[in-house]
Amino acid sequence: MRRDCETHVILGHQERDPARTRPCLFIDIVGYSKLSINDQHAAVEQLNQVGRASAQFQRAKAAGRLLKIPTGDGMALVFYASPDAAAHCAVEISRALKES
């Protein structure tokens, strides 16, 4: 079914409508407010570096299919590509943080 250049797939399949939901990854630093100011800045910088270094982030950014929203002690990433990109990115970031 086509309406105004939008394609909708019905019966339980994913809709392909640019105005609809997108996969999002919300990241928060647990215990942030208990850290010293210097440690807070270091934690946010580490999270940003690890997030930007992930393969999913790099792919989506290079394709112009990513929106990064800073949230103070974390970030929100909105992926406009594959529906599972956010989940893959979360796994990549989690593994990288455990290794550091």
16 falls within a domain = no
Mean pLDDT confidence for 32-54: 93
85 falls within a domain = yes
Residues of the domain holding 80? 21-99
Cβ atoms 81, 63 nearer than 8 A: yes
6 falls within a domain = no
10 falls within a domain = no
3 falls within a domain = no
63 falls within a domain = yes
Tokens of 13: 């399949």
95 falls within a domain = yes
Give bridge partners of residue 70 from the DSSP assignment.
75
pLDDT in tens, 45-55: 999 999 999 99
Closest CA to 75 of 23, 27, 22, 24: 27
74-79: strand order across its sheet: 24-28, 74-79, 66-70
Closest CA to 32 of 71, 69, 64: 71
Query: What pLDDT was estimated at residue 3?
Result: 36
pLDDT in tens, 3-18: 333 333 333 334 455 5
Whole-prediction pTM value? 0.72
57 falls within a domain = yes
How many structural domains comprise the chain? 1
